Structure 1
Amino acid sequence: MGRQKQERNGGFLVHWEAIIPHLFTPIPRGADVPLHQTLERWWQGGHPPWWGGLLLPASHLYGWIAHQRNRRYDRHPPSPLEGVVVSIGNITVGGSGKTPVTIDLTRHLQKRGLKVVVVSRGYGGSGRGEICLEDLSPTEQATVGGDEPTLIHRSTGAPVVVGAQRAAACRLALRRYRPDLIVLDDALQHRAVHRDLNVVVVGRSGWGNGHYLPAGPLREPVVDALARCDWVVHFGPLPPDCTGLPATAAATTAGPWCDGNLTPCPPPPSGTTVTLYSAIAQPERVVATLAQQGIGVAARITQRDHAHPGPRQWRAIDQRPTPLWVTTAKDAVRLPPERQADPALKVVTLELIWDPSPLIDQIAHRVASRSF
């Protein structure tokens, strides 16, 4: 299989899964609940909408195509790159804690003295081709390169290269930066790139409702994904056995399991009531996390994941019922500089609490082995 053809085919399902949430634009439904939020709540195990059954045939087809694609890559894997590649991804769409894991893992690797470059698709950015974020101005980074790559770059100081064709972006990263290793962000399903280790992040909602896109959040069969992963980082209890797998097979099919927890840092003072602005996959989790810290949310201003605030959102923020307004670090990188400097704004960063030492040791050993 030719390299360019393999990259195009490898990205098909990845591009499609990014498009699906945007097919359900924010149309008011019921108590002004956007249709895309109704869909996402069903994905996470909520009550199915009356029209949900219409999506099941497409969902079954998606799962079958994903499995056949995995079989093809199992038979014809891509060639290894010059450097060590560690992939961090998830089995479901959005909201698993993947970005905090990428950031914290990169920091730990840097503390070991390793030169790390992060390669990401740059979803949500307007850029085309392969782009190095450090070539963009601070105001262009989130708009052109995407919010998550920008957050990773600013949180770690590591070079970040974005591009829809991840293999081409990896080759650019190797030529320009000569890193010890590449951390491949959100690339579990992007199999056109060889990786030395696969790290899978599983969020608190596990596999959601157990359906494939578009009727559920699953990007591929869970058995397929866990069969090729080396480490699983999970938050909260292990996922329920909704696919005939996790409780028993996961322990033998997948690599070691690593517990983690996310806490807001720094939170506003306990007892504070705030207005929340968020354009992330699951804003309800931010509300729940703040509530655990004794912080009430009087009003929510939400958009679809990766969206930039427009006039309607700014008007709602300016007319908010509370003195303070809160947003996440991922949302903050999309705000214009004057809004980021607003003294009434509190940016909440999710701090990852875990012990990645065994994983870091394994990665460092791979790098050392490749150096000889």
Structure 2
Amino acid sequence: MRAPSFWTIRYGRDSAPILRLLLSPLGALYGASVARRIAKASPLSLSIPVISIGNLTAGGTGKTPFSETLRTLLAELLGGQIGIVSRGYGGSLEGPVAVDPAVHGADAVGDEPLMLAQGGPVFVGRDRAAAGKLAAQNGMKALILDDGHQNPALAKIISLVVVDGQTGFGNGHLIPAGPLREKPAIGLARADAIIVMGAVSDDALEDIDGFKGPVFKASLNAKPVAIGGPVLGFCGIGRPEKFDATLRSLGLNVVDLYPFADHHRYRPDELVRLEADARAAGATLVTTEKDYVRLPPDFAAKVQVVAIEAILEDEAAFLAFLRAKLDSHLGQD
């Protein structure tokens, strides 16, 4: 689904105050169910460190690119392979299974795990404790638990919460009245550090004010692409307007952007329309890495990809934070 616009609007008529009020009881039930699931869980402790990356809101905050950055840093610190454990959202396999890009498609393991598997080991499973055990058996030095802040299956030594620097926690209400998966005071109490992604607004600063742990800033940078002439973008991500802004930041001549639902599976007729509209405009089709892995190979060959990387503002400080946490954990073994 695409996030409703009123989720990020805090005041005024466009914030849909009446609808928000009507949906608030459902939000209270949602929040209670998350809290109950976490409270009743018995997390599995693995023999290797588990680092969770998550957020408090639905929709994209930059967790996936940051997972790649974190994997690189952990590999340098620990001197070995770092596995990523994912639920495999959108995939049909229950798992646990090690993702093999040469064998698996997005329909089997999910788009984000398949994309992450281009850079290193990824393990998917509905039961993330089972996926974590499989990763440990495969010789991983540590695990990154993707989208793991509300998942209590594995005991974590570090919990990182990624916050969108512009929208923060949105209108401050729980799903479906707003974007929150749980109340910030509860979610941040389990966090060891916050990663603020992108330029920071006053609203976002207010949302994280009072957090006692370290706050690190990062940005999402698009890798340059050599495309001459107009481009027609398309994407199925949580906030498609971000991809539009990315294309324009690269100086590309964007004639149009076609937004689809997050994790959208493209139908043949949609691909025919995209190709026809691009041809009529004399434009090159451009999409995200996440969308690219969901495309049929014959169509993907006609599409350019814009890759995104997460860059820490103060990598040295973040490395020091990681090293201290890892040393503390390993010293107890």
TM-score (ref. length: structure 2):
0.87
How much has 1:77 moved relative to structure 2?
5.3
Q: Which residues in structure 2 correspond to 1:130-149 (within 5 Å)?
A: 130-134=96-100, 137-138=102-103, 140-149=104-113
Q: Which residues in structure 2 correspond to 1:1-372 (within 5 Å)?
A: 21=1, 37=2, 39-45=3-9, 47-48=14-15, 51-70=19-38, 72=39, 78-112=43-77, 113-134=79-100, 137-138=102-103, 140-154=104-118, 156=119, 158-175=120-137, 177-203=138-164, 204-235=166-197, 236-237=199-200, 240=203, 246-247=208-209, 249-250=210-211, 252=212, 255-268=213-226, 272-320=229-277, 321-342=281-302, 345-354=303-312, 355-364=314-323, 366-367=325-326, 370=330
3-state DSSP of counterpart to 2:241: helix
Contact 1:133/1:141 (8 A) holds in 2:
no
Q: For structure 1, which runs of at least 5 residues remain unmatched after alignment?
A: 1-20, 22-36
Contact 1:119/1:185 (8 A) holds in 2:
yes
How much has 1:258 moved relative to structure 2?
0.8
Contact 1:232/1:257 (8 A) holds in 2:
yes
C-alpha distance in 1 between matches for 2:247 and 2:45: 43
| Matched residue type, 2:305 | V
CA pair 42-141 structure 1, distance change in 2 beyond 3 A = same
C-alpha distance in 2 between matches for 1:214 and 1:268: 41
3-state DSSP of counterpart to 2:186: helix
C-alpha distance in 2 between matches for 1:189 and 1:167: 14
CA pair 239-221 structure 1, distance change in 2 beyond 3 A = farther
3-state DSSP of counterpart to 2:31: helix
C-alpha distance in 2 between matches for 1:220 and 1:239: 21
| Matched residue type, 2:231 | V
Contact 2:69/2:311 (8 A) holds in 1:
no
Contact 2:275/2:285 (8 A) holds in 1:
no
CA pair 239-165 structure 1, distance change in 2 beyond 3 A = farther
C-alpha distance in 2 between matches for 1:142 and 1:239: 38
C-alpha distance in 2 between matches for 1:102 and 1:185: 7
Q: For structure 2, which runs of at least 5 residues remain unmatched after alignment?
A: none
| Matched residue type, 2:200 | P
C-alpha root-mean-square deviation of aligned residues, in Å? 2.5
Contact 2:85/2:144 (8 A) holds in 1:
yes
CA pair 129-293 structure 1, distance change in 2 beyond 3 A = closer
C-alpha distance in 2 between matches for 1:229 and 1:240: 20
TM-score (ref. length: structure 1):
0.79
C-alpha distance in 2 between matches for 1:104 and 1:287: 23
Deviating beyond 6 angstroms after TM superposition, the runs of 4 or more aligned structure 1 residues are none
